[in-house]
Structure 1
Amino acid sequence: MNHKSKVLVVEDDAGIRQSLFETLGALGFAVGEAHNGEEALVQLRMVSYDAVLLDINMPGMGGKETCRRICQTFPGLPIIMLTVRDDEEDIVESLDSGAFDYVTKPFQIRELTARVRSVIRRRHAPMGEPDLISIVGDITLDANRRLVEKKGEQIHLAPKEYETLRCLMEHSGRPVKHENLLRSIWGPSYSNEREYLRVVINQLRKKIEDDPAHPVYILTESHIGYRFREE
């Protein structure tokens, strides 16, 4: 018998909640519902969910506070925030609150389900050594040997280019904020020097993309950061 992944939908809009319940259920998920943050926390204590879809704008506790409390009480449980399109501040605050990812409304159900499957797969992936070989498409990164290859051909990267690529590939499928990349690569005092990052990203795209002007690996998350494509 196949195990159904359990997803909790936390949404105060009854129409959206019902639509997600029916659609995700038809796609093979076991779906639970909560109409606010308080109810979500009660449900999470009773059922072991694999992921949470959480609306950012809800009466009462609110999505961001709910996200913080879920992260504190159920560490490691992946949360995907449902946000309003183009609201940069909400997206940044969602990620700061502990959300694994976000999807903007109105969303495509294929995109949403792909994000849900991705965070669930990552949560249940077996733990391994921190230095693994990452393979996405034609790109291979061997962290043990600090080697990057495309279609078997070695790509020569400058140190900052390599570290940036490694950080993005370690989080493939998830957005990485500008400031997090900068602090990770350049250090804690570098969080606003986005021009450094732009230069490195442009150089990386020239080296790993078939068409740097239309990248398929290093994707821009407008006003947020970058996301490395997931296989």
Structure 2
Amino acid sequence: MTRVLVVDDEPQILRALRINLTARGFDVTTAATGAGALRAAAERQPEVVVLDLGLPDMDGLEVLAGLRGWTNVPVIVLSARTDSSEKVDALDAGADDYVTKPFGMDELLARLRAAVRRGAGNQGEGEPVVVTDSFVVDLVAKKVVKDGRDAHLTPTEWGVLELLVRNQGKLVSQKEILSEVWGPGYKTETHYLRVYLAQLRRKLEADPAHPRHLITEAGMGYRFEP
């Protein structure tokens, strides 16, 4: 049973999500404040978090930062804020997805399932270790090492990197990455890619401003060059 933590200060939303998710086989924990969310995450170790940004005691981005300090659990942000820059801020802070209120339950469930899949990952079978002059990607262990240390990637960052590495030297279109990593309903969300490629370059490239391995093909997609 998948453990999900739902964080929202609106009682009716908490109740609706608890009922709907429980009915679909999720083990649901709820919290109505940022402090309660961080405490529940530490105690329950959820496999996915649904996080409202408008909390009474702290901004949801602060909660997200608190989570990212110790866990890579997939986080879906809920917000009534529709500004594209708000979405980018949330993704940049480590969110894996962003759902705008009001939302349909079917859409949220689809995004929740996709986030859980990304978090769980699929074990590869005998794929090689890929070595660059800046970092090493182990496709079997699902980890990246840079300067002798593990580079901590979120599940979504790993999903993007893994897809590019498995297609090394080939152009992977924006639509293909969005569809494979986020799902078929995300083919137009190109700002997700700008944010995640920037994050990957900051974490992995020797010179993020002049990447040698994670290459942008303007208007088309991205390419991994070992």
Match of 2:43 among 42, 46, 53: 46
TM-score, normalised by the number of residues in structure 2: 0.63
Match of 2:96 among 89, 100, 121: 100
Is the counterpart of residue 33 in structure 1 residue 27 in structure 2? no
- What residue in structure 2 maps to residue 113 of structure 1? 109
Contact 1:182 1:197 in 2 (8 A): no
2:220 aligned partner, one-letter code: V
Contact 2:92 2:195 in 1 (8 A): no
- What residue in structure 1 maps to residue 63 of structure 2? 66
TM-score, normalised by the number of residues in structure 1: 0.62
Secondary structure, in 3 states, of the residue corresponding to 2:69?
Answer: helix
Is the counterpart of residue 178 in structure 1 residue 194 in structure 2? yes
**Quick one: distance in 2 between partners of 1:161 and 1:43?**
42
CA RMSD of aligned residues (A): 3.6
**Quick one: distance in 2 between partners of 1:190 and 1:164?**
20
Larger Rg: 1
Question: Over residues 150-188 of structure 1, what are the superposed CA-to-partner deviations in whole Å (9 max), with x where a residue is unaligned?
Answer: xxxxxxxxx784475775566343763325447879x83
**Quick one: distance in 2 between partners of 1:50 and 1:183?**
22
Contact 2:38 2:67 in 1 (8 A): yes
**Quick one: distance in 2 between partners of 1:101 and 1:15?**
22
Extract structure 1 runs of 4+ deviating beyond 6 A.
182-185
Is the counterpart of residue 188 in structure 1 residue 208 in structure 2? yes
Q: 1:124, CA displacement in angstroms? A: 1.8
Secondary structure, in 3 states, of the residue corresponding to 2:73?
Answer: coil
Equivalences, count: 175
Secondary structure, in 3 states, of the residue corresponding to 1:9?
Answer: strand
Contact 2:6 2:29 in 1 (8 A): yes
Instruction: Structure 2: state its 5+ residue gaps.
Output: 128-137, 141-162, 202-206, 222-226
- What residue in structure 1 maps to residue 151 of structure 2? none
- What residue in structure 2 maps to residue 89 of structure 1? 85
